[in-house]
């Protein structure tokens, strides 16, 4: 039984699932049972954790190639959120096919953002160094 059905059972008050009479509230015992059922349902819906990915240089190069070379034209311009989701799904599919892995889109996006951030930091630090030895 879905928790939403237990919690909101087409009543005007919302939390009065299965009232006993026309306008009677549930007893304390019934409410405690409802809470127990809801907690049991929530525990059963837990998503298993995804194992960490050990990123190699080849994997990062492949990710960058999929993003900047293969799917370059799909990322440029103004894109809606739905379009970006579709493009990242396409990128993940290509990446996984090339490397025969199963890595989900959020992990790929997070890694891409981390690499992009690291590149920006390195570029910024190199711009600060003029190359002129003044001391």
pLDDT band at 11 (very low <50, low <70, confident <90, very high): very low
Mean pLDDT of 31-57: 74
The residue among 39 and 134 whose pLDDT is bigger is 39
Q: Long-range pairs for 56-64 at CB < 8 Å and ≥24 separation?
A: 58/99, 59/99, 59/101, 60/111, 60/115, 62/95, 62/98, 62/99, 63/95, 63/108, 63/111, 63/112, 63/115, 64/112, 64/115
pLDDT in tens, 65-98: 999 998 888 888 888 899 999 999 999 999 999 9
Mean pLDDT of 108-119: 94
- The reported pLDDT for the residue numbered 12 is 47
pLDDT in tens, 55-70: 999 999 999 999 999 8
- The reported pLDDT for the residue numbered 90 is 93
pTM over the 0.75 mark: no
19: left (phi over 0), alpha (psi -120 to 50) or beta: beta
pLDDT band at 50 (very low <50, low <70, confident <90, very high): low
């Amino acid at each position: 039984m879905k928790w939403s059905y237990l919690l909101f059972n087409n009543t005007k008050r919302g939390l009065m699932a299965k009232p006993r009479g026309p306008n009677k509230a549930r007893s304390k015992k019934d409410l405690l049972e409802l809470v127990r059922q809801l907690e049991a349902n929530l525990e059963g819906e837990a998503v298993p954790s995804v194992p960490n990915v050990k990123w190699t240089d080849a994997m990062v190069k492949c990710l960058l190639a999929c993003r900047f070379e293969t799917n370059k034209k799909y990322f440029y311009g103004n894109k809606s959120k739905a379009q970006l989701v579709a493009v990242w799904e396409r990128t993940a599919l290509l990446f996984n096919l090339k490397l025969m892995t199963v890595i989900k889109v959020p992990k790929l996006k997070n890694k891409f953002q981390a690499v992009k951030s690291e590149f920006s930091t390195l570029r910024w630090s190199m711009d600060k160094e003029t190359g002129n030895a003044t001391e």
